[in-house]
Amino acid sequence: MTQARGKFISFEGIDGAGKSTHIGFVSSYLRERGLELVSTREPGGTPLGEKLRELVLHEKMHLETEALLMFASRREHLAQVIEPALASGAWVISDRFTDASFAYQGGGRGLGRDKLDALEQWVHPDLQPDLTLLFDVPLEVARARLDATRALDKFEQEKADFFAAARAEYLRRAAQFPARFRVIDSTQTIAAIQLQLAALLDAIL
27 makes contact with ligand TYD (CB under 6 A): no
Stretch that binds ligand TYD, among 28-36, 116-124, 152-160, 175-183 (CB under 6 A): 152-160
Rounded to a whole number of angstroms, the minimum distance from the CB of residue 56 to ligand TYD is: 7
Binding test (CB under 6 A) with ligand TYD, winner from 5, 20, 21, 139? 20
Answer yes or no: are the C-beta atoms of 99 and 170 closer than 8 Å: yes
Stretch that binds ligand TYD, among 79-87, 117-125, 131-139, 149-157 (CB under 6 A): 149-157
In the bound state with ligand TYD, the residue whose beta carbon lies nearer, of 111 and 193, is: 111
- Three-state SS at 60: coil
Q: Determine the Cα–Cα distance for residues 168 and 166; give it in Å rounded to an integer.
A: 5
130 makes contact with ligand TYD (CB under 6 A): no
Rounded to a whole number of angstroms, the minimum distance from the CB of residue 37 to ligand TYD is: 18
Q: Which parts of 46-75 interact with ligand TYD (CB under 6 A)?
A: 70
The residues pairing with 12 across neighbouring beta strands, listed in sequence order, are: 134
Residue 132 CA: distances (Å) to CA of 35, 87, 163, 164: 18, 19, 19, 20
128 makes contact with ligand TYD (CB under 6 A): no
- Give the count of beta carbons closer than 10 Å to the beta carbon of residue 169: 23
For residue 111, what is the enclosing H or E element?
Answer: none
In the bound state with ligand TYD, the residue whose beta carbon lies nearer, of 152 and 205, is: 152
Chain positions contacting ligand TYD, by CB under 6 A: 15, 20, 42-43, 70, 95-96, 100-101, 104-105, 153, 155-156
